[in-house]
Structure 1
């Protein structure tokens, strides 16, 4: 796939940055699996002649977290549940001390049709490497990958003496428009 070189900026007004969470533990069926969305983020893709000569930088405002959808649970999610989830997320992510997530590419391999973007994620004052899969879609690309909360010093939310807890791994997904 031949793409034009140059710099492309995009963010929440162009596409959604999603986080998918699941519940673990003996009481996991009581909890809600969530699709979260960030309503304020910005990315800059500098495309070279080939993917290896390109870079991607992303900045996410963590306070912009919102709940897009939920599944599971023994009862439908209420507005109070949504507010509590957002408070717990802000507390776990320590958004007052570390209001942003940052991603900076260290390497892009493969092609724009099927490749990987590896880089450093800084979250909660900790930097850790992460790799995201790139897949071409009609009219753009899908980037997706997994982050472990514990890699950033985040203890996943738990309740009921740990029998209901958020899985350590969360899935990130974004669909990027093609320039």
Structure 2
């Protein structure tokens, strides 16, 4: 599945020494299904998306009990044109250490992080009689304007 968080804040220190982010777990949109790493538009109806979103909010992210997802950095290391940010991610009420390599792309800072859902007490999602499955590893992409 390809989803988007619609309500979030990311605060980066002016000297780039720290990052703090908050994402609202109940403000997520389902955009499309994915097949073999590519967008698979047309697979999901609006009704499918609504049902999936409800299941994700209730059964996967437990957004009523855990309405926010947070990240707070513990270190930021510059390595040439990239930065490695390490810190604590709290998702589904469970906190784990994560690291991400951040790179510059034009006017943005960009990263892709792979999370293991079971590490956060999340059972990978299945829908449509098992025809739609989310793997245990989920790629999260973040793009933040530099200014």
TM-score by length of 1: 0.71
Query: Which one scores higher on RCO, CA 8 angstroms, separation ≥ 6?
Result: 1
The answer to whether the 8 A contact 2:52-2:127 is kept is: no
Matched, 1:47 2:10: no
Q: Give the number of the structure whose alpha-carbon radius of gyration is greater.
A: 1
CA distance in structure 2 between the aligned counterparts of 1:43 and 1:160, rounded to whole angstroms? 34
Q: Distance in 2 between matches of 1:163 and 1:133?
A: 33
> What root-mean-square deviation, in Å, do the aligned CA atoms of Structure 1 and Structure 2 show?
2.1
Distance, in Å, in 2 between the alignment partners of 1:120 and 1:41 is 17
Please show how residues 61-140 of structure 1 align to structure 2 within 5 Å: 61-72=24-35, 76-91=43-58, 92-111=60-79, 113-140=81-108
Write out the 4+ residue segments of structure 1 that deviate beyond 6 Å after TM superposition: 160-163
Once the two structures are TM-superposed, the CA of residue 67 in structure 1 deviates from its matched residue by 1.7
State the partner residue of 1:152. 120
- Secondary structure (helix, strand or coil) at the match of 2:50 reads helix
Q: Which whole-Å CA distance do the structure 2 matches of 1:178 and 1:153 have between them? A: 33
How far has the Cα of 1:166 moved from its partner? 1.4
Match of 1:141 in 2: 109
Q: Report what 1:58 is aligned to.
A: 21
Secondary structure at the aligned position of 1:134 is classed as strand
Partner of 1:172: 140
Going from structure 1 to structure 2, the CA distance change for 1:117 and 1:84 (only over 3 Å counts) comes to same
Report the TM-score, using the length of structure 2 for normalisation.
0.86
3-state DSSP of counterpart to 1:172 = strand
